[in-house]
Amino acid sequence: MTAAITAAENGMQTVLLEHGERVGKKLLQTGNGKCNYTNMNLTPPCYHSDREDFPMSALKKFGPEDTVEWFRSLGVEPFVKEGGYVYPHSGQAASVLNALRSECGRTGVRVVTACTVKDIRRKKDGGFRVLTDLEMFAADRLILACGSKASPGTGSDGSGFALAEKLGHRIVEPLPALCGLYCAEKEFFRSAAGVRVNASVRLMLENREVEREEGEVQLTSYGLSGIPVFQVSRTASRALHVGRRVEAEVNFLPDFPDAAEYLKKRISARDYGSLEALGNGLLNKSLWNALLRDAGLKPGTDPGKITEKEVEKLAETVTASRFRIIRTAGFDQAQCCTGGVDVRDVDPETMESRLVPGLRFAGEILDVDGICGGYNLQWCWTSGKLAGRV
């Protein structure tokens, strides 16, 4: 939509082809229905791509301030939360979609829905024939903005990658990102499922820390979820894909710098009667009991009777539990994809193909993925604006 609006503003006769019943279905799901549409704290590590400098080269041309101003001009006032997260002031993702749809109308974009692009052929004299299940469209320029494979129920079913590949573009294997991680320790997660806890997560590849995040971790029946887990999931996804050993080390008491010392003091300060009661008011009961079991301790044991070594083992379990990651959640549970159209074949200033004159790309179809926090939508606005400036 951003690309189409911009192209129309630049005087192009623009047609937007969408195979869903309506445009922008995924937008409605964003930010838990509130749409975190950009982030004012944008730095290079917020983005991943096989060509590291590609995202920032583009984002310098249209960044978060430009996004906020553009949406303001469409009537969407920003509401900026701590951490720079920007939402529409209305708190409704539908406002962002409505503004874009209305702008499509104002700029004269012809929107054709329930229309699946099946094939794209290059014309000998330049331009394209776009074959759909409705009719054939002829175009001088073409922007592919088909999304990825993430959340296929929204229409983003991976068909864009096939279209790009057929036009000669290389595709970096698309994998799920911003998603939960399945763990091997089934018994632990069966006991602790449903718990939300402030924790720090260290992503380990072959025993070496590669990323660390802190925040509300969700323990589920399959393993780990929640924002800090989403943030490291992309790296886990890529590492698992090439057969590396991936683990997550979780500290369930990140705000206690010396947990062993603290537990010793806690035990001597009061007669808790049982190890289960020792955890009361410190950690969620189900989680605490699962940790006791992992530390080889029984909930009914008197804390006064356990050895110093056992307290240290308990502290280690609470602050450095290692979970073996066996896979990521699937595309249906992923908020975005890592991988996509290889950006080595795309000009970062215009999103134009270096292989096919007149072809451009916008959005998640490109091999650019952002961390959680409004960065993926910012990428869509940026690449859409640049691609539309035809």
Ligand X SMILES: Cc1cc2nc3c(=O)[nH]c(=O)nc-3n(C[C@H](O)[C@H](O)[C@H](O)COP(=O)(O)OP(=O)(O)OC[C@H]3O[C@@H](n4cnc5c(N)ncnc54)[C@H](O)[C@@H]3O)c2cc1C
- Pick from 224, 253, 263, 336 the residue near ligand X by CB under 6 A: 336
Q: Supply the minimum distance, in Å, between the C-beta of residue 196 and ligand X.
A: 18
**Is 377 a binder of ligand X (CB under 6 A)?**
yes
Burial of 333 (0-12, 13-18, 19+ CB in 10 A): middle
**Is 376 a binder of ligand X (CB under 6 A)?**
yes
**Is 381 a binder of ligand X (CB under 6 A)?**
no
**Is 151 a binder of ligand X (CB under 6 A)?**
yes
Of 14-22, 265-273, 305-313, 315-323, the window that binds ligand X (rule: CB under 6 A) is 14-22
**Is 176 a binder of ligand X (CB under 6 A)?**
no
**Is 17 a binder of ligand X (CB under 6 A)?**
yes
- Pick from 6, 14, 36, 317 the residue near ligand X by CB under 6 A: 36
**Is 116 a binder of ligand X (CB under 6 A)?**
yes
Q: In this structure, what token pair is assigned to residue 125?
A: 């004299």
| Binding-site size, ligand X (CB under 6 A) | 35
In angstroms, rounded to a whole number, what is the distance separating the alpha carbons of residues 140 and 181? Answer: 44
In angstroms, rounded to a whole number, what is the distance separating the alpha carbons of residues 90 and 7? Answer: 28
Which residue, 151 or 289, is less far from ligand X as judged by CB?
Answer: 151
- DSSP-assigned states of every residue in 30-48: GGGGT---EES---GGGEE
Q: Supply the minimum distance, in Å, between the C-beta of residue 328 and ligand X.
A: 14
Q: Supply the minimum distance, in Å, between the C-beta of residue 179 and ligand X.
A: 10
Which residue, 319 or 382, is less far from ligand X as judged by CB?
Answer: 382
Which residue, 25 or 264, is less far from ligand X as judged by CB?
Answer: 25
Q: In this structure, what token pair is assigned to residue 176?
A: 């799920």
In angstroms, rounded to a whole number, what is the distance separating the alpha carbons of residues 252 and 315? Answer: 10
Provide the β-strand partners of residue 176. 337
Distance in Å from the first CA to the final CA of the chain: 15
In whole angstroms, how far apart are CA 81 and each of 21, 39, 85, 150, 359?
Answer: 33, 9, 5, 26, 37
Q: For residue 81, what is the DSSP state?
A: P
Residue located via tokens 């698309």: 174
The site map against ligand X for 206-245 (x = CB under 6 A) is ----------------------------------------
Q: Supply the minimum distance, in Å, between the C-beta of residue 297 and ligand X.
A: 39
- Pick from 49, 156, 225, 251 the residue near ligand X by CB under 6 A: 156
In whole angstroms, how far apart are CA 274 and each of 40, 105, 157, 260?
Answer: 49, 68, 53, 18
Query: Site residues for ligand X, window 311-330 (CB under 6 A)?
Result: none
Q: In this structure, what token pair is assigned to residue 52?
A: 């590291």
CA pseudo-torsion sign 262, 267, 268, 272? positive
Q: Which residues bind ligand X (CB under 6 A)?
A: 17-20, 25-27, 29-31, 35-36, 116-117, 145-147, 150-151, 154-157, 159-160, 335-336, 363-365, 374-377, 380
